[in-house]
Amino acid sequence: MKFVDEATIYIQAGKGGDGCLSFRREKFVPFGGPNGGDGGDGGSIFFQADPDLNTLIDFRYTRIFKAQNGQPGMGSDCTGRGGEDLIIKVPVGTMIYDADTNELIGDLNKPAEQLKIAQGGFHGLGNARFKSSTNRAPRQTTKGKPGDECNIRLELKLLADVGLLGMPNAGKSTFIRSVSAARPKVADYPFTTLYPNLGVVSVGMNRSFVVADIPGLIEGAAEGAGLGVRFLKHLVRTRILLHIIDVAPLDESDPVVAAKKIVKELQKYSPELAAKERWLVLNKLDLLPEEMREARCADILKRLKWQGPVYEIAAISGEGTQALCYAMMDYLEKTKMDVIPGDRDVSE
């Protein structure tokens, strides 16, 4: 299924029912008073985070959502039935914007969390409301108010603990296949990954975390080149970035130059994202002779002036991946936070 992470829809809350103009008509009661009832309130529209949903694909085919109108009032002081509220279910991690003003309305980042987006219209008043000692036969009623309506932009940001970062063909998809049950497409050409993939990594009983694999970045991504910049917003909520570097690229390009390009694009896109905890992962060691591995890794680290955590792996064979996963789990447990990081929007 194609991954859909943005959608624009139109929503309209229900209109309030009109008030009723009615008088009591009963045998042997010649002067029956007003008995027109009020209308019912229009239905409101809520968004609800559903953990069973993964994409916004359903909103590609259904773009108009309307809540039920309130029914008009009736005689005998009967109030019209209120319109039913409409609950629109979206994936956890969905951000809701006003499409016309680009204002952030809400962020549904917890399962079952609800947010009212459009208020239903207020009911109209029947003529029984206007009777008084000086106006015993009022013919005045009010109309129901229209419900709120607006254009809404939905934007999904994946809720992952760890984000994979790197150039095309750095081995991100191979890594996520190696450590989880996710099966993203793997091939020997750039841009194999066209949409984000999530994988759950388990390192023991009740110890697991989620990894997000996004399309690779290229130089100029912050200006719109390539695919990765479109999905960089999914890394905003992660707590660790794994910067995966191909130590033995087939085109014999310089891994250090490629790594610096990634950092540059991150900084241009969002300084907050660039400042996140980032670990260096030197991948594809199996493509180097054993006697060359240590020297190549040392050279890369020296030229990058890298001071943070670094791990050497061969994702295709699983070499070194277990130690990396345990280290990530330990870090996530030590830095556990109640609030999901990255609530500030940096996608614009």
Q: Residue 218 and residue 191: Cα distance in Å, rounded?
A: 10
- Give CA–CA dist 222/268, Å, rounded: 6
The residue written with tokens 């934007």 in the block is 155
Report the pLDDT value the prediction gives residue 4, as an integer from 0 to 100. 53
- The H or E element containing residue 281 is strand 278-283
The more confidently predicted of residues 259 and 123 is 123
Q: How many domains does the chain have?
A: 2
- Asked whether residue 136 falls in the same domain as residue 262, the answer is no
Q: Which residues span the domain enclosing 92? A: 6-156
CATH code (residue 235): 3.40.50.300
Q: Which tokens hold the place of 51? A: 């953990």
- What backbone torsions phi and psi does residue 259 show, to the nearest 5 degrees? -65, -40
* pLDDT tens by residue, 192-240: 445 567 777 888 777 878 888 776 554 444 444 444 455 666 677 788 8
Residue 243 and residue 322 share a domain: yes
Write down the pTM of the prediction.
0.62
CATH number at residue 75: 2.70.210.12
CB atoms within 10 A of CB 326: 13
- For every residue of 70-138, DSSP letters joined together read PPPPBTTTBPPPPPPPEEEEEETTEEEEETTT--EEEEE-STT-EEEEEPPPPPPPPGGGG--SS-SS-
Percent above pLDDT 70 for the chain: 84
CA distance linking residue 246 with residue 274, whole number of Å: 20
- C-alpha span between 311 and 324 (Å, rounded): 7
Euclidean distance between CA atoms 286 and 216, whole angstroms: 21
Are residue 171 and residue 283 in the same domain, yes or no?
Answer: yes
Note whether residue 192 is domain-resident: yes
> CA 81 to CA 74: how far, in whole Å?
10
The predicted-structure confidence for 315-337, as pLDDT tens digits, reads as follows: 888 899 999 999 998 888 888 64
Asked if 129 and 184 sit in the same domain, the reply is no
Between CA 290 and CA 208 the distance in angstroms is 32
Domain boundary among 122, 156, 190: 156
Among 346, 243, 251, 348, CA closest to 304? 243
CA angle 286, 290, 293 (to 5 degrees): 80
Does 112 lie in the same domain as 19? yes
